[in-house]
Each structure stands twice: as C-alpha cells, then as structure tokens.
Amino acid sequence: MPIATLREVLKNTRENHFAVGAFDTMDHAFTEGILAAAEETQTPVILAAGDFPGPDYSNFLPYLVDRISRTSVPVCLHFDHGGSFEACARAIRAGFSSVMIDGSALSFSENIALTKRVVEMAHACHVDVEGEVGHVGANAGSVESRRDDSWYTEPEAAAEFFEKTSVDALAVAIGTAHGVYKEAPKIDFERLRAIRSRVSVPLVMHGASGLSDEDFHRAVENGMCKINAFTNLTLAVTSRIADDMPSLISPLQMSHEISLKMTAYSKQEVLRHIRLFETEKIHERSRA
Ligand code: CO
Ligand code: CO
C-alpha cells in the first residue's frame, strides 16, 4: 500500500472509541515484528522514528519506505518529537508522512508560532503534523523530553492551540511521563474528558508505558486516538531475549536467532497493545 498520512490512519478513531498505536522502531527485526502484528489483525499502524540518538537513518529510512510500500495495511511513517522547524523539514524530505513538532518546552505563544510554521510547510508537502500542548515530562532515563518536569494541559489552552495551528493530532498531558515509572501514574481522566469536549482533533498519549489495562481502556474510551508505545515494548522484548541467551550457543546461530526472536517477541507485544488500544474496532464499521 502507498504510505498513509496520520489523518488517514486515525480516521474514525474518535467516533468509534479506538486508538492506533505508534511504535518506535530502530531496526529491521523490530520493524518486521510491528508490521507482522498489524497485518495479522489487518489494522493500521504508525511506525515512529524519533528525533533523538538512534539508528543511522540514512540507511534505515529507505528500507522503511520500501517496506511500507509492500505492506497490506495502511502504515504511517511518523517523525517523533521533532525539535525544530529544520528537523521536521529534513524528515519530510527523507520520506516521513507525518511529523511531530514538539514545542512543549517553549512558552504557549512560541509553541503556537513554531507549530503553525511547521503545519504550513508540512501541509504544502501533503504531510500531517502532531503538536503538543502542556508538557509530558520524563522519568529517569528517557530520551524524549527536553524538560523533566511535566505540566497538565488546560482544556481552554488545547482549544486555542488547535484553533491557531490546525494540527492534525494533538498530544496532551494528563499525568503520564516518558520512560520507566517508579510508581504507577495517576491519570486525570476528568481533564481528558474536558479537553475532548472542547477539541475535535485526534488526541495523542505519550508516556503510556506503565499504565494498567484499565487505564488504557479508560484512555481510549475517553478520547485518546493515538498512543505511543516504546519503553514497555523494548523492555519486554529485551528481557525475553536475555532469558533466551544461555540456550543460544554458536556465534552464527546467535545473530540469526536473536533477530528472529526480536521479530517474534515484538510482534507478540504489539498484538497485546493492539488489543489494549481496541484497534480492531476499525473492522466494526465495515460490518455495520
Ligand atoms: Co513521546
Ligand atoms: Co468501554
């Protein structure tokens, strides 16, 4: 299928109360696991690659773009946490179909001005944009946030931000944080409902690792349309591979087997998240 935009993969999420997962990928084995899960469930998926230290994108991106074109479900290639106008422009040139401009560490008016510029540039290239209002903070070890402290999204600020920027998706802060939690997060669902009632744009949840199954259900039920999953996914996959290590003996077997296991385990984890996000509700439309 041709690469999908963020708007395309998030279509009907709000109305039908389901979310689409954005899964960060840094290598071939992980990517194959994510796409295998999406194809098995025939659900759209967002492959995310971040504006932070990671793989050598000059080699990795052509593979992603080609691989997506040979996938049987809609796949959006999303640039996560773009830190500047220039970074987003580079991502668009490299083939991303969606970019996040993260101006959440700036003042409210500077965030609006920067996001608006990125939206104008991206929309001219038929690329969609995610913005962030309020600030999703960071737990120790996170590479995604420019500031550790978090502040909640005010519903009125979300409405004004959307009105002035015309973003295609909006990340909001309701009590989650990036990285590994020391104690379970407390999610402000009342605030989520208040934001939801004021803006029609698909809402995005960052820092979702560590939420309970019930939290996910309530988040989706109350309007989260895109949920980013990274920490949980990599932790689960790497710990299972670590458990397998003693049984892998020859060096030749090692690299091949580890790669296959990464794909198999990441597929299982992504399938679990697809169920948590209730993404398969997308099929209910066609049955109705
Ligand atoms: Co994030
Ligand atoms: Co329900």
Strands (E), 197-278: 203-205, 224-229
Q: What is the dihedral of CA 260, 143, 182, 231, to 10 degrees?
A: -20
pLDDT at 213: 93
Q: Does the structure show a pLDDT above 70 at 140? A: no
CA distances from residue 266 to 20, 35, 235 in whole angstroms, order as listed: 16, 10, 10
* 182-196 mean pLDDT: 91
CA distance 23 to 149: 24
At residue 267's C-alpha, the angle toward residues 264 and 16, to 5°, is 165
Kindly name the residue from 80, 128, 168, 215 that is annotated as catalytic: 80
pLDDT at 55: 60
Q: Which ligand number lies closest to the CA of residue 143?
A: 1
Q: Does the structure show a pLDDT above 90 at 256? A: no
pTM for this entry? 0.93
How many angstroms separate the alpha carbon of residue 29 from the centre of ligand 2? 34
How many angstroms separate the alpha carbon of residue 256 from the centre of ligand 1? 31
- Largest pairwise CA distance in the chain: 60
pLDDT at 52: 63
| 137 against 69, higher pLDDT | 69
Q: Which ligand number lies closest to the CA of residue 278?
A: 2
* 51-68 mean pLDDT: 81
Query: Taking the CB of residue 16, how many other CB atoms lie within 10 A of it?
Result: 14
Q: What is the DSSP letter of 4?
A: B
Mean pLDDT of the chain: 91
| Token pair in block for residue 196 | 């939801």
pLDDT band at 103 (very low <50, low <70, confident <90, very high): very high
CA distances from residue 212 to 88, 183, 195 in whole angstroms, order as listed: 33, 12, 22
CA distance 39 to 2: 15
How many angstroms separate the alpha carbon of residue 251 from the centre of ligand 1? 36
* 247-263 mean pLDDT: 80
* 234-259 mean pLDDT: 82
Which of 63-67, 86-90, 250-254 has the lowest average pLDDT? Answer: 250-254
Fold of 6-287: TIM Barrel (3.20.20)
Q: What is the dihedral of CA 58, 62, 67, 73, to 10 degrees?
A: 90
CA distance 42 to 173: 30
- 148 in catalytic set: no
pLDDT at 34: 98
pLDDT at 100: 97
The amino acid occupying position 21 is G
Q: Does the structure show a pLDDT above 80 at 176? A: yes
How many angstroms separate the alpha carbon of residue 6 from the centre of ligand 2? 25
pLDDT at 58: 77
pLDDT at 185: 83
pLDDT band at 106 (very low <50, low <70, confident <90, very high): very high
Q: What is the DSSP letter of 135?
A: B
* 114-141 mean pLDDT: 92
In terms of DSSP bridges, do strands 45-50 and 75-82 run parallel, antiparallel, or are they unpaired?
Answer: parallel
pLDDT at 182: 80
